[in-house]
Chain A
């Protein structure tokens, strides 16, 4: 399934798999897709999420404590693919769980599950030769992060090996919600645009309808993670899918009014 963004902006919804439990993550993912999310990023919980802020750290800790493994996340992905054949599906992980599982074995399993792309937080282009070859063999899109601190020559290299979309980090720092969107984001997207025609999704700190609309002015899609995970943290498991659906519908509401 190619990754496609229907809306302007499109929406990538990040969920930490296994928080509060795998069954609820499944229900939340389906609700998010039905409410308008174009791509689901299934986060593989890791014991040492050093690029994440407190919200996703806590979610990871809860999911790891419940024993959520990469194998569980792949099974969940397969299930989601069967239920929503048209939706974009990305696995989001730190590198170590994949290395431990086996890079080739992981890629084969992800392909069999119907996953579209893979994003590894601590994988950079210089280290990616084998990683890229394995993804290529299994028709998985490599999605890389681009940062405001990345000079143009790095952005060019990142764009050259990316497929699906490029994930532009809106500001320097870790994941998390914030009040306003840094001006870093717009100039990064502009610099990145010189090197790629792929969709560019902006993430890190996109947490409300206002940010979402603002991202739509200069990028193809927004990634929302911590804001969703925070809602899940506060909701009873049975209520979480509805809460997420309402939040996502709320993102699109001002955009609809503007039309």
Chain B
């Protein structure tokens, strides 16, 4: 069913009690052309683009929990593409462009709000790095500009731009096309679009083993039995190393908790996204009125989806330093996702030592903004058994060749 003003009116007449399910819940078949392990945004986008762009429709998405219940539902929904290096800039910009047309393409409102993303600078080094990154962005055709403290103050009046604080705001980069989107809607929209094209979305189905013969993948063992597959794409974020161990190799990845929290809802007061690497917090305000607040990872490896309190204390301190007006705000909910951090803070979207087994991982703290672009290039990689030009640099081999894509400056903290 196509969503439209007419379908809305028709369903209003029947008190919204007869909307059809947005996707089926089929029993798994015995075999598929492609199995995608992981029903988060990236996995569902991969399945969608496999079906929509490459004509590969005999596809299953296996999700151990519920759709978008991992990092897709746990991030702070920030979208931007102002990365330093060409390889990253091209990939994230492609993703941002897909986001800009996604509600229309999926016939599903992902509530993209391009309200502008500010990255603050608090010292001379920050300013130099920022100016360099803005210039690099502009050479890559990405909208990016440097703001003075006066212009920042005009845009974000509640931000403390006093020169007398310990870490004064000296400037900021602004990407006006950056912003936020409704993270659940991104997963649901891709799920609905993939399902409509014949993809089987199977929830509560955990992969427990990867079967291979003579170095070629044959299928996956799951909590709902063995399922055969010609190709398997694994996109499971924090559990990437666990799945790699099933296939017999290791990844350059450590899994860490990344915590976030939201405040009680308040009236609209914060209309952009503000991120600070040096004082270390990022904050936006949701349509419900909650401040959505994030910062850095906990320092130790974990699969627990919760972290330690000092990390929260630090980011609350940073929030109040930047926005004194928030000092008496109560926090409502607090959670963590398990992020797969890579040594160069760049993703791995790659073939693996096992033939017809592909991994998409290592997005660390910043995968949400890349969801459509990641699915786009991963679908290409699986369909053609070769990377797309946009992800050719993001192979597992780069850790052997040394051709790392070091994005710690643009990626390590601020998401």
Bound pair (A, B): no
Q: Which residues of A contact B (CB under 8 A)?
A: none
